[in-house]
Amino acid sequence: MTGHADVIRVALPAHLRTLARVQGEVELQVPGRVTQCAVLDALEARYPMLRGTIRDQRTGKRRAFIRFFACEEDLSHQQPDAPLPEAVAVGAEPYLIVGAMAGG
């Protein structure tokens, strides 16, 4: 999964779609290996207003009430530089950024 030019599909929660002023999924070109970190880097480069809303700007640590899903799996606890599933890397499945259900 290196050097490909597939479009990565990213689904944002509603508040972040509003903030980024997008509707529906975001499509990103991700250079190099398709990892969670690379996808988030590309997302924040294109939509700088999202910096700090998904992960800490300095440490890269995921915010507590954010989850990352893809292909019906919870990837939230995987290493940021671990490769994403092939289906995400080729754009067949979206990478889901989810606001956790919380608040009672």
The contact set with other proteins (CB under 8 A) reads 13, 15-16, 19, 49, 51-54, 57-58, 63, 65-66, 99-100, 102-103
To the nearest whole angstrom, how small is the minimum distance from the Cβ of residue 46 to other proteins? Answer: 14
Q: Give the nearest distance from C-beta 50 to other proteins in angstroms.
A: 9
**Residue 22 burial (C-beta neighbours within 10 Å; 0-12, 13-18, 19+):** middle
Strands (E), 12-99: 26-29, 66-70, 73-74, 95-99
Chain center to CA of 29 = 12
Residue closer to other proteins, measured from CB, 29 or 61: 61
Pick 7 or 100: Cβ nearer other proteins = 100
62 vs 89, beta carbon nearer other proteins: 62
User: Are 59 and 28 a contacting pair, CB within 8 Å?
Assistant: no
Q: Give the nearest distance from C-beta 91 to other proteins in angstroms.
A: 26
Least Å from the CB of residue 49 to other proteins: 4
